[in-house]
Structure 1
Amino acid sequence: MKQIIYAMQFKGKAGPGPAANVMKASTSASSSTIASVVSSQGVQGKIEPAAGGKAEFESEVTLTGETSFLEKGSIRFGDGNRLQFSSIERGYLGDSADPKLKSGAVMWRVDGGDGQFAGATGYITSNFTLSDAGDVTDNQFGVIFVK
């Protein structure tokens, strides 16, 4: 088995879906490098552009309670390389320190995919914010196993 890891920041929109308790999310992330540096002042992080293409994310979010949801979707990494995922347990979406943003987290199971991700397994964590206008910033870290 080969292990693929990725860390990317996706940005885009979330809006109404086919039912009152469903949202559709559509985001993308450019190729990037992420640096975390620890010093006597604490930790600093930054995301820098890198050569390469974009990843495209689409999901359907079903609200199951005041702060809980289930999610399923796909991420396309280049032409023909798509992975499919679904939430393991309920995700959390609640208020944040910024009154204009909600924040949350969810963990997804990789359910398979196409191209590079045919037969893939693994997990992805998502830590995200959602504005009143539907703007999404989603920080993902994935650990994927492929043959």
Structure 2
Amino acid sequence: MPELRYQLTFEGKVAPDDDMGAQMTIEATAPIPAGVDDVLRQNGSSASLNASVETDEYGGFTETGEIRFGVGTLRYVSRGEGFIEETEEPDIQQGCVIRRIDGGSGIFEGATGYIASTFTVDENARYCDSQSAVIFTG
């Protein structure tokens, strides 16, 4: 089973899906730099992320989403609950979540693994997510 790894920085926006902000959508893109496994750079030089987030009143959240590469799409779900909290900067929040890879399409059909995500969201809903992943493909 081939093992793929990446470290990418996604940038994009967070948008509420309801009036209370309990459900949100994230849309972001990341350039795929040199040094990332070559197979992930085939058929494109960027990846895109689309996710649905459900928050709770205590700063926790769960997430489902997908990350599209030129060679296929990874599907994921949060493993446990992620969290988001205030920082010393009044206009920025920070958080983290572990995402479990749950298959996908293209070369990611049947894939497993994990994505560690640490991110910030600013007062303008700008999202910046540093990801590190280990992916096993079938």
Separation in 1 of the partners of 2:19 and 2:84?
19
| Superimposed CA distance per residue, residues 24-78 of structure 1 (whole angstroms, 9 cap, x where no aligned partner) | 00000012258xxxxxxxxxxxxxxx9x511000000100232100000000011
| Equivalent residue for 1:106, pick from 93, 97, 114 | 97
Partner residue of 1:2? 2
Measure, in 1, the Cα distance between the counterparts of 2:30 and 2:50: 12
Q: Which has the larger radius of gyration?
A: 1
What TM-score do you get using the length of structure 1 for normalisation? 0.84
Cα RMSD (Å): 1.8
Q: What stretches of structure 2 of length at least 5 have no aligned partner?
A: 36-40
- 1:60 equivalent in structure 2: 52
Q: Percent identity?
A: 34
2:64 to 72, 75, 89: 72
- Runs of at least 4 residues off by over 4 Å: none
SS at match of 1:65: coil
Letter matched to residue 17 of structure 1: D
What are the equivalent positions in structure 2 for 1:124-143 lying under 5 Å apart?
124-143=115-134
AA in 2 matched with 1:9: T
Query: What CA distance in whole angstroms lies between the structure 2 residues aligned with 1:54 and 1:9?
Result: 10
Question: How high is the TM-score relative to the length of structure 2?
Answer: 0.89
Paired with 1:119 and 1:138, the residues of 2 have a C-alpha distance of: 25
Amino acid at match of 1:140: Q
Shift of 1:96: 1.1
